[in-house]
Chain A
Amino acid sequence: MTAQSNGEVVLNLSGITKTFGPLIANDAISFSLKQGEVIALLGENGAGKTTLMNILFGHYVADSGTVTAFGKELPKGDPQAALDARIGMVHQHFTLADNMTVLDNIALGTQKLFWPSFDRAKARQRIVSHAEDFGLSVNPDALIADLSVGERQRVEILKALYRDARILILDEPTAVLTPHETDALFRTLKMLVAKGLSIIFISHKLQEVMAVSDRVLVLRGGKLVGEERTAETDRKALAGLMVGEEIKPPQISEPQTGKTVFRLENVSAKGVGTGADLHDIFLDLKAGEITGLAGVSGNGQAALAALISGTLSPTKGRIHINGETIGSWSPRHALAHKIGRIPEDRHAVGMIGDMSVTENVVSERYLSNRFSKMGFLNWGAARRFAESIIHDFDVKCPSPEARVRLLSGGNMQKLILGRAFDGDPQMILASQPTRGLDVGAVSYVHAQLLKARARGAAILLISEDLDEVMTLADQIVVMSKGRLSAPSRRGARTIADLGTLMAGHGFESASNTAPKEPDHAA
C-alpha cells in the first residue's frame, strides 16, 4: 500500500494496561496512528487485540493509560465518546438488522429521538455518494437478509462512513470472506486511505497484513512485542514475533487409503441456525484419509456437521457406514458406530462449562459397563478416565474436579479430543477444530488428527481456514449454499479454483450426480 503515513497523528494510545484478575490482558501498550495510515494489529487469539479495541471503544475501562483522538483525550468507559471522536468499527460479527433495508440500517441510530420526520432522500443521496466515492456498490433499498456476506460488510463500512468516521477499525474482516471478496475489500481500503482515513486492521493472517498495512504492531501475551514498517519486514519475521518461537509445519506422509468408512448418498437436510440447508450431498470418507471441507462460514457446514454428529436427521437420502445402510440416526447411533466428534462450538456444544472435567469426559459413554452399573455411576472409574485423558493429552487443569469453564480454549479442546479419540474411533468429524486456539494448541490438534489418520481413521476436517484445509487434507471438497463440490486430490485445485467454488460458481456440473474424480478435468 502506498506510504501516506507522513500525516499528523490522529489517534494515540498511551500506556494502556488492563488486568482481569491474575491475567494481564494489556500490558502498558502505546502506539499512535497517523492520518492516511493503515496499521495492522497482529497477534494470536488471546494476545489482547480485542481487549485493546474494547478499551478504545469504551466498553472496558483501562486500569491505567489514556486514549487521545484528534488531540482530545477520550473519557474512559464511554462508547459514545469514541463515536463522537469519529472512530468507526466494523465487527467480525455484523450488527445489522436482517429485516430492514440497507438505508434504514445505515441511518439507524443517527436520527434524533422524538424527531417526527426522517429525510430519506437526503440519507439516500449521502449513502449513494459515499458508495460511489469508495467503490462500495450496494443497493440502499435492498433488505439485509438478501445480501451476501461481502455486501453486508460493505454496509457496515458505509455505516461507519455515514457517521463521518475518520478512523476505521476492522476486526478480522476477512474471516467471513471468499478470496475474491477479500481482494475487493483491500481495494476499498486503499481508496479510504487515499481519502485521508486512517485504518486499524486486526488480523492473525500474515499474508493479509503484508498486503494492506503500512505498519505492523505485533501483540503477544498482552504485550506489544514488535512494531515494524511493513516494507522493511517479511512474513517469517512477523510470525516469529507473533508466536515467540518457530513453529514447524506438520510433516505429512502419503495417505494409506483404505475402504470407504462413511458415505452420504443424496442427502438433504434442514439448515442449522442461520446456515444454509443441505441439498443432495454425496460424500465418501475413506479410511486413512483426511477429507477437508472448505467453504465460507454459513454455507451449510454447521448442518453437515450436525448431521454427521447425529443431532440432525436427513430429510432425504441415505447414510452408509462400512457399506451398511443406517436406519435410525442420533448421537448415540453415531457413537455406537465409533464416530468421534469434535464440535464446532466447544463452549456451547462440546462441553458443559458448569460441570467438572470428570463429568464432561464421561458424557458420551456414561451408560457403558465401564462407568455405570444398575443405574448408578462409578465415579472412581470416571475419575481415573479423566486422569488418563489429562495425562495423555497434556491438559492443564487443577484437578479432575475442576469446572471446565475455568479451562482455556486449548485445554478444553484437548479434553474434547481425549473424549472423541477414546476407543480408537474408525471415523472422526473435526468441525473447526482449531478455531480460536493459540499456535501451540493448533499444532497439537493437527498432530493428533494426523496420528488418527496414520492408524487408519477416516477423518472429515471442516474448516474456514483454507490454509489448514490445503495443508492437511488428502482430498478437498468445497461447500457453498448447502451444496458440496466433487472432491479433488491434494494439490489438484489452486487457491483460485477453490475460491471460485467457495463463491458458489462451478457447481452445476457437480450437483445431483455421484462424485467423480475431477483430477482429469483440472
Chain B
Amino acid sequence: MRLEPKPAPSMAVTLLYPAMAILATFVIAAILVMIAGAAPLQVFGLVIKGAVGSQFALVETLTRATPLIFTGLAIAVAFRAKLWNIGAEAQLYAGAVMTIILGTGAIAAPAGILIPIIIVGAMTAGALLLLGPAILKTRFGVDEVVTTLLLNFIFLLFVSLLLEGPLKDPMGLGWPQSERVVAEARLPRIIQGKRLHYGFILAIFSAIAVWLIMAKSVLGYEMRAVGHNPEAARFAGIPVNRVLVKTALLSGGLAALAGVSEVAGLKGNLTLDISPGYGYTGIVVAMLALLNPLGVVISAIFVAGIFVGADAMSRSAGVPSYISDVMVATALLSMVTAIMLTRFRIRWR
C-alpha cells in the first residue's frame, strides 16, 4: 500500500469526506456501544437529547463549550504558524491564577473596570508562560512540544503550591482552594439562574477577532507564511522568529481567557480541578475545525455536546460515559484520515 498525491480536490470532495468522517465516527461508536450491551440508536438518541434536547441541556453544552472555544482558538493560532503549543492547560491555569490575584479584593473597582483589568492581566500571564518556550525555540532550537508539555505539569504543581500557601482560602476548612472572587469580578449570567455566563459571548467575540487577524491582518499573513514555509518566509524578508514570538503571545493569551472564564464566570474560586483537560481537548477542537477560528466555535460546541450528552446518557442507559472520550477521539482520527484522503489516494498492489 502506498500514497500518491491527488490533484486539487473538488468542492464536493472537500465536503463529502468530512461528512463521511462523521458517519464513520458513529459506526465505530455504535460497535462499542453494542459491545457494552446497549442499542446504538437508542444510545445516540439519548446523547443528542442530553446535549441539545432541552434548555437545560443546551445551556450546559454551551457552558462546557466556552473554555474549549478559548483553548481551541489558542491552538488554532499557534498551529497555523506551526508553533506546537501543547501547553494550553498551563496557560489556562495561569489565567485562572491571575484572576484570583486581581479579583479577590486586591483592586477595588466597579465591574466595568475590574473585569477588563483581569482580562488584560490574565492574558499577559498566559502569554508570558508561552514566551519562554517560544524564545527557547527561536534562539536555541529547543523543541516546543517538549517544553510546553512539561510546563503543564510544572505549572499545575506551582498552582498546587499556591493553593496550599499564599492563595489558600483561610475559611476553606483546609481544602486546597482559593478565596472566591468579589462580586465586581464575576462575569454576569446571560440568563438569570442558568449557568451560562458572558464568558461565552467573550469567546464568540474572540473567535471573530482571531478570524479577522488571521484573514486580514499583516500578522495573520505573516503567521500563515511562517507556518507554511519558514524558509521561503525568511527569504522574502518576513522576520520568522519575531512572528513566532508574537504568535506565542497571542496563543498563550487566548488560552488564559479560558481560565478567566471558568473562574470569574463559572466556579468563582480556583481549585486544582477547574479544567478536566480543556487545554488538551483544545487541540482536538482546533484540529476538527481545520484551524479555522470560526470553525473552532462549531467544533467546540460539538465536542462539548458529546461530553454533556454522554454524561446524561450514561445515567439512563448504563453505558459508561467514557464512550464520549472514544467518540471525540474517533471523530478526530476520522477527520484526519478524511483530510489525508482528500489530498492523497491509496494504491494497493
* Interface residues, chain A, with chain B CB atoms under 8 Å away: 21-22, 61, 76-77, 309-311, 330-332, 334-335, 341, 343, 348-355, 359, 363-364, 366-367, 372, 375-377, 379, 403, 406
**Known contacts A348-B229, A353-B229, A403-B8: does B218 contact A376 (CB below 8 Å)?**
yes
B237 to chain A, nearest CB (A): 4
Q: Are A376 and B225 in contact (CB under 8 A)?
A: no
Q: Are B217 and A363 in contact (CB under 8 A)?
A: no
Alpha-carbon distance A349/B233, docked complex (angstroms): 8
Q: Are A311 and B221 in contact (CB under 8 A)?
A: no
Alpha-carbon distance A367/B225, docked complex (angstroms): 14
Q: Are B217 and A376 in contact (CB under 8 A)?
A: yes
Residue of A nearest to B220 (CB): A377
Q: Are A309 and B228 in contact (CB under 8 A)?
A: no
From A61, A343, A350, give the contact of B349 (CB < 8 A): A61
Q: Are B217 and A375 in contact (CB under 8 A)?
A: yes
Interfacial chain A residues near B218, Cβ < 8 Å: 366-367, 372, 375-377
Tell me if B234 counts as interface (CB < 8 A to partner A): yes
Q: Are B7 and A363 in contact (CB under 8 A)?
A: no
B137 to chain A, nearest CB (A): 19
A397 to chain B, nearest CB (A): 12
Interfacial chain B residues near A332, Cβ < 8 Å: 237, 239
Interfacial chain A residues near B347, Cβ < 8 Å: 61
Alpha-carbon distance A348/B221, docked complex (angstroms): 18
Alpha-carbon distance A110/B224, docked complex (angstroms): 46
B85 to chain A, nearest CB (A): 21
Alpha-carbon distance A376/B274, docked complex (angstroms): 37
Interfacial chain A residues near B229, Cβ < 8 Å: 348, 352-354
Q: B214-248 CB contact bits vs A (8 Å, 1 = yes)? A: 00111101001100110111111111000000000
Give the total of B residues in contact with A, Cβ under 8 Å.
23
B185 to chain A, nearest CB (A): 31
From B217, B219, B225, B349, give the contact of A359 (CB < 8 A): B225
Interfacial chain B residues near A376, Cβ < 8 Å: 216-218
Interfacial chain A residues near B8, Cβ < 8 Å: 403, 406
Interfacial chain B residues near A359, Cβ < 8 Å: 221, 224-225
From B7, B225, B237, B238, give the contact of A310 (CB < 8 A): B237
Residue of A nearest to B235 (CB): A349
Interface residues of B in 234-275 (CB under 8 A from A): 234-239
Enumerate 19 A-B pairs (CB-CB under 8 Å) in ascending A order.
A77-B349, A311-B235, A332-B237, A334-B237, A348-B229, A349-B231, A349-B232, A352-B225, A352-B228, A352-B229, A352-B233, A354-B228, A363-B225, A363-B233, A364-B236, A366-B221, A372-B218, A375-B217, A375-B218
Interfacial chain A residues near B221, Cβ < 8 Å: 359, 366, 377
A360 to chain B, nearest CB (A): 8
Interfacial chain B residues near A310, Cβ < 8 Å: 237
Alpha-carbon distance A364/B234, docked complex (angstroms): 10
Alpha-carbon distance A348/B238, docked complex (angstroms): 15
Q: Are A355 and B228 in contact (CB under 8 A)?
A: yes
B349 to chain A, nearest CB (A): 5
B309 to chain A, nearest CB (A): 36
Q: B85-115 CB contact bits vs A (8 Å, 1 = yes)? A: 0000000000000000000000000000000
From A76, A343, A353, A355, give the contact of B224 (CB < 8 A): A355
Alpha-carbon distance A123/B43, docked complex (angstroms): 68
CB-based closest 7 A-B pairs: A363-B236, A331-B237, A332-B237, A352-B229, A21-B7, A354-B228, A352-B228
Interfacial chain B residues near A330, Cβ < 8 Å: 237
